[in-house]
Amino acid sequence: MTFELLFTDRADAELNKLESDKSLKKRLNAVRKTLGYLEINPRHPGLNTHEYTSLTKAYGFKIYEAYAENNTPAAYRIFWYYGPDKREITIIAITPHP
């Protein structure tokens, strides 16, 4: 049971930025690994997936955060939601955690 990943324009631009900056190769690899886990199992324990309540309130539906990195300064996070259709996940942002 896999999911199709869809990307907002913002998330697509953020991924392209990671791909074009050679100094961020390690981070890009971590993001790609996380995206792979999201396709297979969004609840994979290594993702530390949890609802991000402030975005849930802003969007009006559940938004989740998955960790691409942990215990790293400015660790990357991926924000996403289920849908719009069954077996789809929309990635809304790929961003360093402040």
Checking if the pLDDT of 20 tops 90, the result is yes
Rounded distance, CA 33 to CA 4, Å? Answer: 15
Q: How many CA atoms lie within 13 A of 58 on its CB side?
A: 7
* Structure confidence at residue 1 as a pLDDT band (50, 70, 90): confident
pTM: 0.93
State residue 35's pLDDT score: 97
Sheet order of strands, 4-7 included: 4-7, 88-96, 76-82, 64-67, 50-51
Q: What is the DSSP string of 20-75?
A: H-GGGHHHHHHHHHHHHHHHH-TT-GGGT-EE-HHHHHHHTS--EEEES--SSTT-
